[in-house]
Amino acid sequence: QKETYILAIETSCDETAAAIIKDGTEVVANVVATQIESHKRFGGVVPEIASRHHVEQMTIVLEEVFAKANMTMEQIDAVAVTEGPGLVGALLVGVSSAKALAYAHQKPLIGVHHIAGHIYANRLQEEFTFPLLALVVSGGHTELILMKEHGVFEVIGETRDDAAGEAYDKVARTLDLPYPGGPEVDRLAQLGEDTLSFPRAWLEEDSYDFSFSGLKSAVINTLHNAKQKGNDLKRENIAASFQASVIDVLTEKTYRAAKDHQVNQVIIAGGVAANKGLRASLEEKFKEESIQLSIPPLWLCTDNAAMIGAAGTIAYQKGNRAGWDMNANPGLDL
Ligand code: KG4
Ligand code: ZN
């Protein structure tokens, strides 16, 4: 049987990325141009700057991925691109580029949901065994997703307010840590202890939903009160206490959902999956279980196009094709 080669493009936020994926499981070439330095001095991603950088970087990144793979467009079976969710101006650059390439070379075009990509990043490391539970924790999403077959996603829990990564970034800002805050809070947390016992938002007993805004406010209030009273709180302990609260809830709810749905595999995905504390906590929780726990390498956790190619291959094999009228969709449903 002939191999399938997918060219994938991802520009939903502040990474301009392209990859070539073979048969949905093998990375032939992967290029990521990050814009972190350009956004750092603003303390977060500036959408207009992100779009402009994508325009500047896109052709360079594409040329590099083909050079690395030693391939040409003629050898590609289809072009997959992140259709949404994300920043509309940023997404548009990827979608327009994918359309142009696919149209010029008469290849099928495939729209991919960014979160499907994060989940499928794991398949570049390990084959899926269903039923499978995915904990997706990124800057914009916190979701527990149940999968019984390829390409079908059932959201069984989600955040009711802030996403986990968003809470990390906001807490980082109150601690005067640079953007992106998640890795900085993670690093500090390793040096401190959970001395503050912030609240854990368990919600209703049977709920797989999450809430992080209360915790975020508790951190901000604690810092504010300490400052007013002239108390000196150690930043390491604030970070460690915040992180312990987030991780406790993520770990417990993931474990309970995995047991309730009798899954064979648990995977984690998204930028916050890079968190050292979360990775260790899940490993500890599942170590005595027969459920297989998959933790992706760091380069597969943060935004990249390899994951879009992995998810795009499934869509391609299922016969899903986008029309030339496909548009960037910042609010796309999974
Ligand atoms: O998946 P991602 O790269 O982009 C989105 O799709 O949102 O996730 C970015 C998020 C940011 O909020 C960042 O602070 C967070 O992931 N993050 C982390 C860590 N590394 C990245 N959060 C906690 N600990 C980390 N080590
Ligand atoms: Zn992402």
Compute the distance between CA of residue 334 and CA of residue 317 in angstroms, rounded to an integer. 18
Q: Is 275 in the pocket of ligand 1 (CB under 6 A)?
A: yes
- Tokens linked to 33: 């141009």
Q: How far is the CA of 298 from the centre of ligand 1 (A)?
A: 11
Q: Write out pLDDT tens, residues 126-180.
A: 999 999 999 999 998 999 999 999 999 999 999 999 999 999 999 999 999 988 8
The answer to the question of residue 330 being in a domain is: no
User: Mean of the pLDDT values across residues 293-319?
Assistant: 96
Same domain for 180 and 288? Answer: yes
Q: Is 118 annotated as contributing to ligand binding?
A: yes
Q: What is the pLDDT of residue 315?
A: 98
Average pLDDT along the chain: 95
User: Mean of the pLDDT values across residues 308-314?
Assistant: 98
Compute the distance between CA of residue 61 and CA of residue 49 in angstroms, rounded to an integer. 17
Q: What is the pLDDT of residue 85?
A: 96
Q: Is 84 in the pocket of ligand 1 (CB under 6 A)?
A: no
Q: Is 186 in the pocket of ligand 1 (CB under 6 A)?
A: yes
Compute the distance between CA of residue 167 and CA of residue 181 in angstroms, rounded to an integer. 9
The answer to the question of residue 87 being in a domain is: yes
- Tokens linked to 27: 């990375």
The answer to the question of residue 328 being in a domain is: no
Q: Strand 5-10 vs strand 15-22: parallel, antiparallel, or unpaired? A: antiparallel
pLDDT band at 37; cut points 50, 70, 90: confident
Same domain for 134 and 266? Answer: yes
Q: Is 139 in the pocket of ligand 1 (CB under 6 A)?
A: yes
Same domain for 78 and 149? Answer: no
Q: What is the pLDDT of residue 41?
A: 83
Pocket test for ligand 1, best of 171, 272, 279 (most atoms within 8 A of CB): 272
Question: pTM of this prediction?
Answer: 0.94
Q: What is the pLDDT of residue 40?
A: 84
Query: Ligand 1 atom closest to Cα of 86?
Result: 6
Work out how many domains the chain is built from and give that number.
2
Nearest to 195 by CA among 230, 244, 251: 244
Q: How far is the CA of 81 from the centre of ligand 1 (A)?
A: 21
Nearest CA to ligand 1 atom 13: 182
User: What share of the chain in percent tops pLDDT 90?
Assistant: 89
Q: How far is the CA of 295 from the centre of ligand 2 (A)?
A: 16
Q: How far is the CA of 270 from the centre of ligand 2 (A)?
A: 6
Nearest to 244 by CA among 270, 207, 219, 271: 219
CATH code, domain carrying 147: 3.30.420.40
The answer to the question of residue 331 being in a domain is: no
The H or E element spanning position 134 is strand 132-137
Q: Is 159 in the pocket of ligand 1 (CB under 6 A)?
A: no
Q: What is the pLDDT of residue 333?
A: 92
Nearest CA to ligand 1 atom 2: 271
Same domain for 290 and 146? Answer: yes
Contact in structure between 116 and 267 (CB atoms under 8 Å): no
Q: Which residues contact 121 (CB under 8 A, 6 or more apart)?
A: 269, 296, 300, 301, 304, 306, 307, 310
Same domain for 107 and 190? Answer: no
Q: What is the pLDDT of residue 36?
A: 85
Host domain of residue 104: 5-119+302-317
Same domain for 40 and 169? Answer: no
Q: Is 24 in the pocket of ligand 1 (CB under 6 A)?
A: no
Q: Is 275 annotated as contributing to ligand binding?
A: yes
Q: Write out pLDDT tens, residues 197-227.
A: 999 999 999 999 999 999 999 999 999 998 8
Q: What is the pLDDT of residue 134?
A: 98
User: Mean of the pLDDT values across residues 308-330?
Assistant: 97
Q: How far is the CA of 140 from the centre of ligand 2 (A)?
A: 8
Q: What is the pLDDT of residue 227?
A: 86
Same domain for 68 and 142? Answer: no
Q: Write out pLDDT tens, residues 96-125.
A: 999 999 999 999 999 999 999 999 999 999
pLDDT at 1 over 80: no
The H or E element spanning position 47 is helix 47-69
